[in-house]
């Protein structure tokens, strides 16, 4: 029995050497005194959101070209602080006769005074845009989604434009994520 035990011990020692088992080394851990002092109470009321969605349903959008910014339909403000990217989507139904195709788009313009002033003058700057393009002439319904876009401002104003020759009932969605 001792011979078997000796052989097992020698085999273990040989395999340990080939596996590269190292000796224990001493490690020192230094805890700094209050590296980030926090005063008062800290409360996390619930899970921190990873994403959020803004949406507008059944917005009626009259025909207007991309260049006719004064005729765009304004939806409201999208707060983007705390998020790094977004996805724009539109879905809807065209109204009236079936003359002429075109596109329906959702445009986010930074909610900054000088950029909005340029928009009022007919120039679109630093926008994020996505939509349904092209909408065929005979289509009744349309939908579209853009790629993931990077957020650069803490808030944006949302607008819709419609280059078809018909008015449209549009559902617009902005999906924000980190």
C-alpha span between 71 and 29 (Å, rounded): 66
* Residue 12 pLDDT greater than 60, yes or no: no
* Residue 34 pLDDT greater than 80, yes or no: no
Rounded to the nearest 10°, the torsion over CA 105, 111, 117, 121 is 0
Domain-by-domain residue ranges, the chain?
Answer: 51-177
Phi, psi at 125, each rounded to 5°:
-120, 140
Q: What is the mean pLDDT of residues 85-112?
A: 89
Q: What is the pLDDT of residues 101-146, one digit of tens each?
A: 789 999 999 999 999 999 999 999 999 999 887 777 777 899 987 7
Q: What is the mean pLDDT of residues 22-45?
A: 79
Output the pLDDT for position 7: 47
**Eight-state DSSP code of residue 166:** S
Output the pLDDT for position 30: 80
Q: What is the pLDDT of residues 145-176, one digit of tens each?
A: 778 999 999 999 999 999 988 899 999 999 99
Q: What is the pLDDT of residues 53-69, one digit of tens each?
A: 999 999 999 999 999 99
Q: Report the predicted TM-score, pTM, of the whole model to 2 decimal places.
A: 0.72
Distance of CA 5 to the CA centre of its chain: 64
CATH class of 51-177: mainly beta
**Eight-state DSSP code of residue 169:** E
Confidence of residue 4 (pLDDT cuts 50, 70, 90): very low
Distance of CA 95 to the CA centre of its chain: 31
170 Cβ contact list (under 8 Å, min separation 6):
56, 58, 59, 60, 61, 90, 91, 92, 104, 160, 162
Output the pLDDT for position 15: 54
């Amino acid at each position: 029995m001792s011979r078997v035990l000796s052989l097992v011990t020698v085999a273990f020692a040989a395999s340990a050497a080939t596996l590269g088992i190292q000796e224990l080394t001493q490690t020192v851990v230094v805890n700094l005194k209050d590296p980030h002092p926090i005063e008062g109470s800290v409360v996390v009321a619930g899970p921190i959101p990873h994403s959020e969605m803004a949406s507008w349903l059944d917005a009626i959008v009259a025909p207007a070209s991309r260049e006719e910014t004064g005729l765009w339909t304004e939806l409201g403000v999208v707060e983007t602080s705390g998020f790094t990217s977004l996805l724009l989507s539109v879905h809807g139904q065209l109204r009236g006769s079936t003359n002429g195709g075109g596109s329906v788009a959702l445009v986010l313009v930074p909610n900054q005074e000088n950029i909005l002033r340029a928009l009022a003058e007919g120039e679109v700057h630093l926008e994020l845009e996505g939509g349904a393009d092209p909408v065929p002439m005979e289509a009744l319904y349309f939908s579209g989604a853009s790629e993931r876009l990077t957020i650069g401002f803490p808030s944006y104003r949302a607008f819709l434009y419609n280059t078809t020759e018909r008015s449209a009932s549009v559902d617009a969605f902005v999906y924000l994520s980190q």
